[in-house]
């Protein structure tokens, strides 16, 4: 038998992560055998991460869904039988047609997120199909929208510095972000700055890996960062460290704002934030007296009722000090805008297909949409791709109650039998990134990446794009725009003057794998103001609610369920045995004094309890400030029956449409030998 030589195929990590790594896949005899980070890529620099080093275990996992499945037991029982694609599509199409006829198109709810963040296979892959059938619109604002809304209120954009500029900073504030775990490819750039004398400060209630690796860890009470930012600006202005010239030329409303700063003396701020007054003074001075101070914001801190206001208030700091004037100074946040303006996504998304007045459902309130008797028309069909809402959306028991409804047709396109797929009527097999074509934008850097398919789809898996072509065919919808090939979609996505102006073409991406989006704003985008607001100035507005909602006597501990595991990517690895083993049990971390007060010890099996749920976890003593407990999000419910999101509320943040799921309060109790709490 003739054997073929190994080949290398260029691609990119699909994950919802700021790093969007470029990778190369080795293929031997039609099978992917190795995946390595691209050594030339300036952010990837030849390394992947703890999860993605094992991506091929995911591709070839015994647990993968490889054929269409139809439910054969009660909802949620996890009993399925294999059926053909034709049977599944015929039955799903009939189910949809029947429901649309009875209730209208809005009875169908699409639910997708960033299981893959490619333009072709990602959360918008179904948008033309859903626009065509008149489905309810999904507000996909769970991540980044709230923080972006806040920063935009201040400076008109969520695009500040690009990550490589952080090397030029000499004072780096990682504010509510766990870089080493969630944005690991930024860390070497921070280390380069540190080697040149930069000071690294982490502001986080939890002692994350990043906090432990920083020069300085400031531990505020959760949800009080708005007040902390006000306190810092109080000291800066009190001591004359502000940049009057910059403020005069590039800000509006600063005089009124400065008057409000009077309330936030270090003593008062200390009472609100639980940070010593002396530390507030010291931080304000160190920040304001280093010209090239950079604040790195990401996402975790936004998931609060005061999230947008917090981000807005923090975004004022580099304006007050004029840090924007200096290379490496300012704010580092999102880069997604650079990608969206360069790519030609409009003809793929086709928002023009949506009838005016079509109703919307916010994704963080999925449980409400599925259970609210007032919904008119009711949601009777749910089509999920690239998301695992049972684990990742708040108020888990309400989501599950909705999914248990007998009249609800649930279709889940997945790689694994996730907790959401377990509740489906039909599970349809999805390809992984090495099996499909895509073009990857990034919210954490300014490199566009092409992902070429390296191997044929495993089993009967199909790409998300193909799923929607097949559904359209099964429903008798022949419109050309529902049947664009992946190849054609790639050409459309790259058909932009902006990309051509940068010399970025399909041929170049096919040869080189990735390309830098040039930034005509230069390395100091706001050195001379020019904020993309209506008047080009930063708009100062004092906060109205500087503190998040508070605890009750019954549930006195503030729960943060963040992403504190290198073995998880949201819930994406919760169903791969290798990762389950590496990640271990779900844990809850607590301060020693809080543990002592409850007679708890490290290693105890405990219940984390509130009015919504009881979630078992292993106690870890240490790692957080008093009054706070942390649980990593992303663990599947598994045998425990609930994950951290069983405890979280499904309210909204103050702007941007994100959730408030970090405003959660709990009590922690030991599980007695007989299993009772």
Ligand X SMILES: Nc1nc2c(c(=O)[nH]1)N[C@H]1C(S)=C(S)[C@@H](COP(=O)(O)OP(=O)(O)OC[C@H]3O[C@@H](n4cnc5c(=O)[nH]c(N)nc54)[C@H](O)[C@@H]3O)O[C@H]1N2
- Binding of ligand X at residue 414 (CB under 6 A)? yes
Tell me whether residue 344 is exposed, middle or buried, using C-beta atoms within 10 angstroms of its C-beta: 0 to 12, 13 to 18, 19 or more.
middle
Q: Between 515 and 554, how does the x/- string for binding to ligand X read (CB under 6 A)?
A: ----------------------------------------
Binding ligand X (rule: CB under 6 A), the pick from 12, 59, 138, 181 is 181
- Binding of Mo ion at residue 141 (CB under 5 A)? no
Part of the chain binding ligand X (CB under 6 A), chosen from 13-21, 80-88, 398-406, 491-499:
13-21
**DSSP count for the chain of H helices, then E strands:** 25, 27
DSSP state for residue 308 in the 8-state scheme: H
Q: Which among 399, 277, 307, 369 has a CA at the least distance from the CA of 645? A: 399
Count of residues that interact with ligand X, criterion CB under 6 A: 61
502 binds, among Mo ion, ligand X, none (CB under 5 to 8 A by kind): none
DSSP state for residue 624 in the 8-state scheme: B
- Binding of ligand X at residue 116 (CB under 6 A)? yes
Part of the chain binding ligand X (CB under 6 A), chosen from 79-87, 244-252, 264-272, 389-397:
389-397
DSSP for 145-190, written as a single string: HHHHHHHHHHHS-S--B-GGGGGG-SEEEEES--HHHHSGGGHHHH
Alpha carbons 668 and 588: distance in angstroms, whole number: 9
By C-beta, is 181 or 502 nearer to Mo ion? 181
298 binds, among Mo ion, ligand X, none (CB under 5 to 8 A by kind): ligand X
- Binding of ligand X at residue 178 (CB under 6 A)? yes
Sites for ligand X among residues 430-449 (CB under 6 A): 430
- Binding of ligand X at residue 415 (CB under 6 A)? yes
Alpha carbons 499 and 513: distance in angstroms, whole number: 15
Binding Mo ion (rule: CB under 5 A), the pick from 143, 186, 434, 583 is 143
By C-beta, is 107 or 572 nearer to Mo ion? 572
C-beta of 643: minimal distance to ligand X in Å? Answer: 8
C-beta of 647: minimal distance to ligand X in Å? Answer: 8
C-beta of 409: minimal distance to ligand X in Å? Answer: 17
Q: Tell me the CA end-to-end span of the chain in Å, nearest whole number.
A: 64
Part of the chain binding ligand X (CB under 6 A), chosen from 74-82, 96-104, 395-403, 557-565:
557-565
Q: At what angle do helices 225-238 and 307-315 cross, to 10 degrees?
A: 20
- Binding of ligand X at residue 562 (CB under 6 A)? yes
Alpha carbons 644 and 283: distance in angstroms, whole number: 33
Residues 6+ positions from 87 with CB-CB distance below 8 Å: 68, 70
Sites for ligand X among residues 287-316 (CB under 6 A): 298-301
Residues 6+ positions from 656 with CB-CB distance below 8 Å: 141, 145, 146, 147, 148, 149, 150, 302, 307, 308
182 binds, among Mo ion, ligand X, none (CB under 5 to 8 A by kind): ligand X
Strand 330-332 with 360-362, pairing: unpaired
By C-beta, is 123 or 219 nearer to Mo ion? 123
C-beta of 306: minimal distance to ligand X in Å? Answer: 9
Q: Which residue, chain included where needed, has tokens 């169908």?
A: 108
Please name every residue paired with 228 in a beta bridge, in sequence order, or none if there are none: none
Chain contacts with Mo ion (rule: CB under 5 A): 143
Q: Which residues bind to ligand X, rule: CB under 6 A?
A: 14, 16-17, 113-116, 121, 142-143, 175-178, 181-183, 203-206, 208, 220, 222-223, 225, 298-301, 385-389, 391-392, 413-416, 418, 430, 464, 560-563, 566, 568-572, 633-634, 644-645, 648, 661-662
């Amino acid at each position: 038998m003739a054997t073929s030589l190994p080949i290398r195929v260029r691609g990119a990590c699909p994950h919802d992560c700021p790093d969007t790594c470029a990778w190369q896949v080795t293929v031997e005899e039609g099978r992917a055998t190795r995946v390595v980070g691209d050594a030339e890529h300036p952010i990837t620099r030849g390394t992947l991460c703890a999860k993605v080093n094992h991506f091929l275990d995911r591709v070839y996992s015994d647990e993968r869904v490889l054929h269409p499945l139809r439910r054969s037991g009660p909802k949620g029982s996890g009993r399925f039988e294999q059926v053909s694609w034709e049977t599944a599509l015929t039955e799903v199409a009939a189910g949809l047609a029947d429901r649309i006829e009875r209730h209208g198109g809005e009875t169908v709810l699409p639910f997708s997120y960033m299981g893959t963040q490619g333009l072709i296979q990602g959360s918008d892959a179904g948008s033309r199909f859903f626009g065509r059938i008149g489905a309810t619109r999904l507000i996909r604002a769970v991540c980044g929208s709230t923080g972006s809304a806040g920063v935009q209120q201040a400076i008109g954009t969520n695009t500040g510095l690009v990550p490589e500029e952080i090397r030029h900073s000499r004072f780096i504030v990682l504010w509510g972000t766990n870089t080493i775990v969630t944005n690991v490819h930024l860390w070497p750039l921070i280390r380069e700055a540190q080697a040149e004398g930069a000071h690294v400060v982490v502001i986080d209630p939890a002692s994350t890996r990043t906090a432990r690796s920083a020069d300085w860890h400031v531990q505020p009470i959760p949800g009080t960062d708005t007040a902390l930012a006000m306190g810092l600006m109080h000291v800066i202005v009190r001591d004359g460290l502000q940049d009057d010239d910059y403020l005069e030329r590039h800000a509006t409303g600063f005089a009124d704002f400065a008057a409000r700063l009077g309330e936030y003396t270090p003593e008062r701020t200390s009472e609100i934030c639980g940070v010593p007054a002396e530390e507030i003074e010291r931080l304000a001075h160190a920040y304001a007296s280093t010209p090239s101070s950079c604040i790195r914001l990401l996402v975790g801190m936004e998931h609060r009722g005061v999230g947008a206001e917090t981000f807005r208030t923090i975004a004022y700091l580099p304006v007050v000090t004029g840090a924007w004037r200096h290379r490496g100074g300012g704010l580092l946040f999102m880069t997604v805008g650079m990608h969206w303006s360069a790519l030609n996504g409009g003809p793929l998304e086709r928002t023009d297909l949506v009838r005016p007045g079509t109703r919307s459902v916010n994704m963080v309130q999925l449980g409400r949409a599925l259970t609210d008797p007032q919904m008119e028309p009711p949601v009777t069909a749910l089509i999920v791709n690239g998301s695992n809402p049972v684990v990742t959306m708040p108020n888990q028991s309400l989501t599950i109650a909705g999914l248990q409804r007998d009249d609800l047709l649930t279709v889940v396109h997945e790689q694994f039998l996730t907790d959401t797929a377990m509740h489906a009527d039909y599970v349809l097999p999805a390809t992984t990134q090495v099996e499909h074509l895509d073009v990857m934008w990034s919210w954490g850097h300014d490199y566009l990446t092409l992902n070429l398919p390296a191997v044929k789809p495993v089993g009967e898996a199909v790409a998300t794009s193909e799923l929607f072509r097949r559904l359209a065919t099964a429903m008798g919808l022949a419109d050309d725009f529902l049947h664009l090939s992946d190849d054609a979609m790639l050409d459309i996505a790259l058909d932009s003057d902006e990309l051509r102006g940068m010399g970025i073409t399909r041929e170049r991406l096919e040869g080189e794998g990735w390309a830098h989006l040039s930034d005509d704003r230069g390395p100091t985008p706001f050195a001379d103001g020019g904020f993309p607001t209506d008047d080009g100035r930063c708009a100062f507005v004092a906060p109205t609610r500087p503190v998040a909602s508070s605890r009750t006597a019954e549930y006195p501990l503030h729960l943060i369920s963040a992403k504190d595991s290198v073995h998880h990517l949201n819930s994406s690895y919760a169903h791969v045995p290798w990762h389950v083993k590496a990640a271990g049990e779900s844990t809850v971390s607590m301060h020693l004094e809080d543990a002592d007060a409850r007679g708890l010890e490290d290693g105890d099996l405990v219940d984390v309890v509130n009015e919504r749920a009881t979630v078992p976890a292993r106690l870890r003593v240490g790692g957080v400030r008093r009054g706070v407990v942390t649980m990593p999000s992303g663990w599947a419910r598994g045998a425990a029956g609930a994950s951290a999101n069983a405890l979280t509320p499904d309210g909204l943040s103050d702007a941007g449409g994100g959730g408030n799921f970090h405003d959660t309060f709990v009590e922690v109790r030991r599980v007695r030998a007989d299993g009772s709490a």
